[in-house]
Amino acid sequence: MERVRPIFRPDAVARWGALLYVSGGLVAAASQAVPHGPVRHEAVALLNAAGGLVVGGLLYAFRNRVRTWMLHALQFLGNVQIAIGIQFLGRGPVSVSATCFYVWTSVFAFYFFSWRAAIAHLVAVGVFLAATLSALHEPAGPAIWIVAVGTAGVAGAVVGALSRQLRLAAGTDGLTGLPNRWNWEEALERELHRAQRNGEPLCVASIDLDGFKALNDTRGHRAGDVYLRELAASWERALRGNDMLARYGGDEFAVLLPNAACGQALSVIDRMRVVAPHADFCSGVAEWDRAEGADLLLERADVAVYRAKAGGRNTTVVDGEGDPG
């Protein structure tokens, strides 16, 4: 699992997508309301702009029902709509200026989607624009294409790279290099949505180290920091490919276990004990009941770890079960 994922929740992306559609429609309409050069089919160009307002409104209204594949379809539709607008504007400075909208869609794709998907959308932009300029028999077509696609690609790539660096810095624990609490809880929300769609199980585990305060008191905080870094590196080797270990704060950690029932979650916790036999810890495991929110799921895992601590060192409790194990 990537520590900071490039994919956002569909409803969040849909809200920004709706804003992009509405803004594009308004800007396109405003450009026709002020003095401008000759236009091939002004009424159709305005109708195309109005279509952006309609799509944006519908996207916002139904944002909670949007799925990831729909977002890619809407990105594709937006790029097609820009090409249609350029076609009906015709040759000249007005249509050239309309290619600026491809910078908007490229930045959107590189910010919200994976690099592979964003590049695929940029390639589609290149194909659409080339076909449109060819159909218009635009004399400056090659130069317009190079400037428009090049600008869209560079702007998108720069924004995408910077946004990923910022999310990585904001979502990483500075001591261990693990995801921090904010990053982990964002991932939990995404995985709950995915588990709901796919009908998969999901577990979370809270972990509290035994005796860490005594280590800090006797050997100093520097030794404690080294201990936490080494422990985090060891524990990560015990995880499955899609699991996510985070430092929640102090000597508290959390594990997100997508597509895992309690038995599989306990196996991961057992492996964590094996790879770091010198580190005693108590753990509480909770399996999602398919109805509760993230806060209640985490609360159940926390209650389980408190029961484990009450039962002795180096124990695990599964929420809803009896004695620590």
Distance separating alpha carbons of residues 12 and 2, to the nearest angstrom: 19
The values of phi and psi at residue 41, to 5°, are -140, 85
The token duo for 20 is: 């992009």
Distance separating alpha carbons of residues 230 and 243, to the nearest angstrom: 19
Q: From edge to edge, which strands make up the β-sheet containing 252-258? A: 244-249, 252-258, 202-209, 281-287, 316-318
Element (H, E) at 318: strand 316-318
Estimate to the nearest angstrom the gap between the alpha carbon of 59 and the chain centroid. 19
* CA 114 vs CA 39, 120, 121, 241, 256: distances in Å: 37, 10, 11, 18, 22
Distance separating alpha carbons of residues 48 and 126, to the nearest angstrom: 20
Active site residues: 251
